[in-house]
Copies of this chain bind each other. A is one copy, B any other.
C-alpha cells in the first residue's frame, strides 16, 4: 500500500483524536503500528500527533529496514530500553507537548510496559494517559478493498493448509504432526507467518482452546484444526473438524447441527445486522438440537491484521476493554463459528472467514465440510 493510504489513515486517526480529545498517541501494538505506518514490530513505537505527524522509534539496527517500507515523518533508533525512554521524551519535547492527554493501548500494554512508557523520564508530568484502544478499533474495523484482497489471499492459503492437514490425518500421528502439515503447506502457499495453530483430537476436541500436544490420533477420533495464516500482514481464520475413520451417529448429528447453525449465521450476514443477532441465530439452532449446554464462547469475532480483532462480541469486548459493537457495516470481516459444541468426550467446530457485504455474505475460506473423508 502506498504512502497515500497511510496518510489518509493517519488523517482519519487525527479526526478521531480530536473528537475524543487525545493530544497524542503512543502506540506499541504491532498491528496498530502496521495499520498506520506499514510497519509493525516488537520493541518499537509510533507517536501520532493531532496534526498528523508520525514519529517512530525502533531498534537502531532496524532504521534502514523500517525506512524502506514504512510511512513516517520522524525516525529515531535506540540501543536499549533507557534509550527508548529518552527518545520518547525527545519527541514530546519536539512536538511541544508538556500537557494534555496521551493515548495508550491499555489492551496491549502490560503493567510493567506501562511503567516504561509513562516513566518520568519519558512522559512529561503534565501529560495524563488514557486508553486509546477504541480509536484504533474504530479505524481498523471497516476494511479497504486492498485489505480484503489480502484477506482473500490469506483465505486461499488457509484452504491449502487445511487440505494438507486433513489429507495427512491418520491413526498414529501426533496432533503436533497434523499442525506441521498445515503450517508447512501455509508457508509454501505464501504465508509469511501464522498465528498459533490449534489442533486437538479425541477427548481433547471437547476443550475450548486445544493447542497441539504429542497425543497420537486413534481410529474413531475427531480432530479439530484451527488455523490463521498471515499474508501481507492479514490473517484469515478457519476451522474444520474431521474424523479418523467413521464418526458415531451422535458425532454426526452434532456436526450436522453445528454446520447448520454456522451456515444459518453466515446466510444472515449483511450490512446492518447486529453481532448479537448472528450469535443468537447460531445459539438457537444449537439449542433446538439439544446441545445448548455444550456451547462455549462467543461464535463471532472480527479478523484482519490480528486474527481476533474488532468487532469483538459483547462479552469478550468488555474483557478486551472495548464497547459493545454497533450493527455491522459493509466490509467488516468476521470469522463465524468459534463457539463449538463441546461434550464430555468430544467436540465439533467449524469456522469460516466472511466479508460483511451490502447485500449478503462473501465467504472467503472455502475448504469443504466433510466430517468423514470417504
**Interface of A toward B, CB cutoff 8 Å:** 41-43, 59-62, 64-65, 79-82, 104, 106-116, 131, 133, 174-177, 179-180, 183-184, 187-188, 190-193, 196, 203-204, 206-209, 211-214, 296-298, 315-316, 318-321, 342, 344, 347
Contact = CB atoms under 8 A, between A and B. Distances in A.
Contact of A208 (B59, B206, B315): B59
**Closest 6 interchain pairs by CB?**
A112-B321, A106-B111, A180-B187, A81-B319, A61-B342, A59-B208
A176 B191 contact: yes
A112 B193 contact: no
Nearest to A129: B111
A169 to B, nearest CB: 14
A207 B115 CA distance: 26
B296 A59 contact: yes
Nearest to A190: B214
Contact of A176 (B187, B211, B315): B187
Contacts of A192: 174-176, 212-214
Contacts of A190: 214
Contacts of A296: 59-61, 79
Given A106-B110, A112-B106, A112-B321, A211 B188 contact: no
Copies of chain A in the complex: 2
B115 A203 contact: no
Contacts of A179: 187
B111 A209 contact: no
A145 to B, nearest CB: 21
Given A184-B183, A344-B64, A116 B193 contact: no
A174 B342 CA distance: 39
B177 A180 contact: no
A81 B43 CA distance: 30
Given A64-B203, A80-B315, 4 more contacts: A59-B207, A62-B207, A104-B111, A110-B110
A115 B61 CA distance: 36
B316 A81 contact: yes
A203 to B, nearest CB: 7
A315 B214 contact: no
A327 to B, nearest CB: 22
Contacts of A114: 111
B115 A111 contact: no
B203 A81 contact: no
Contacts of A321: 111-112, 115
A191 B190 CA distance: 24
A204 to B, nearest CB: 7
A65 B207 contact: yes
Nearest to A106: B111
A114 B111 CA distance: 8
A177 B183 contact: no
Contact of A206 (B64, B106, B209): B64
Nearest to A68: B203
A111 B131 contact: yes
A192 to B, nearest CB: 5
A114 B174 CA distance: 37
A342 to B, nearest CB: 4
B62 A208 contact: yes
Nearest to A84: B319
Given A111-B111, A116-B319, A207-B65, A212 B193 contact: yes
A203 B203 CA distance: 47
Contacts of A133: 112
Nearest to A64: B344
Nearest to A43: B209
